[in-house]
Amino acid sequence: MPDRRLPAWARWLLRLSYVGVLGLVFVLSAYFAFSVFVRSGVTRAPELVGLTREEAEDLLADRGLTWGPSAVPGRASEEVPEGHVLEQRPAAGSLVKRGKPIEVIVSLGPERLTVPELGGQALQAAEVALAAAGLRVGRTLSVFRAGVAAGTIVEQSPVAGQAGARDAPVDVFLAMERRGEAFVMPDLVYRRFEPVRAFFEGRGFRLRDVRFEPYDGVAEGVILRQSPQAGYPVSRRDPISVVVSSSRGTLP
């Protein structure tokens, strides 16, 4: 009780202070009650990205939350392994009421695209088909293929139907114009010229440039040089030239 011996203004100030203390106690009590009875059912969403489903569910259970599938169950990702959490809603650190599900999007792993069938197409058409599939033309190789128009794709690698990563190359093999039979040039050096000439002429080849040179230490009639060199491809239409040793003073 205020002392009646105090001046009136002092008693009024004392009553005002008393009311202020009561108001402060009320505010603190209300805040405490809000924290205990309202915010006690709220927690922060944990970080789930990168975890497996089992790991994420265990962490959510510790916070009183649950796993909630998203409207988009999965999405391809080059960074997050398949089966691991790619995204979550709400984000980690957000205040969430206990018992509420956290929407989760799971990684499907790297995007896998299907290689289209390219056989029978021209190169330009194949480039368009591969671009539409998210792939690209890799190496372009040429092969002989009977009965196929030149420039037509006859093989591909990888084959149609296989899975490939985005922008992966697909090698194509194009049919090329057949120019007749091809043979491997044998080594003629140090062989006798006359048997070699008979061998080639008997098989439809012609030695179109034959020159004779004297060469010390080598018997007459031995081939010294040849063109094309041994191992090169040659057809019956290609010119073959040889240099043959001869005795001094007896050049043909």
pLDDT digits (tens, 9 = 90+) for 97-117: 888 898 998 998 887 889 999
Q: How confident is the model at residue 84 (pLDDT cuts 50, 70, 90)?
A: very high
| Distance between start and end Cα atoms, the chain | 150
The backbone torsions φ and ψ at residue 119, rounded to the nearest 5 degrees and listed phi first, read: -55, 135
Computed over every residue of the chain, the mean pLDDT equals 82
Residue 25 has pLDDT above 80, yes or no: no
Q: pTM above the 0.75 mark?
A: no
143 versus 47: the higher-pLDDT residue is 47
When mean pLDDT is compared across 108-117, 136-145, 173-182, 188-197, the lowest value belongs to 173-182
Q: What is the pLDDT of residues 130-158, one digit of tens each?
A: 999 999 999 888 777 777 888 899 999 99
User: Using 50, 70 and 90 to split pLDDT, how confident is the model at 179?
Assistant: low
pLDDT of 231 strictly over 80: yes
For residues 204-228, b (16+ Cβ closer than 10 Å) or e, as one string? ebebeeeebeebeeeeeebbbebee
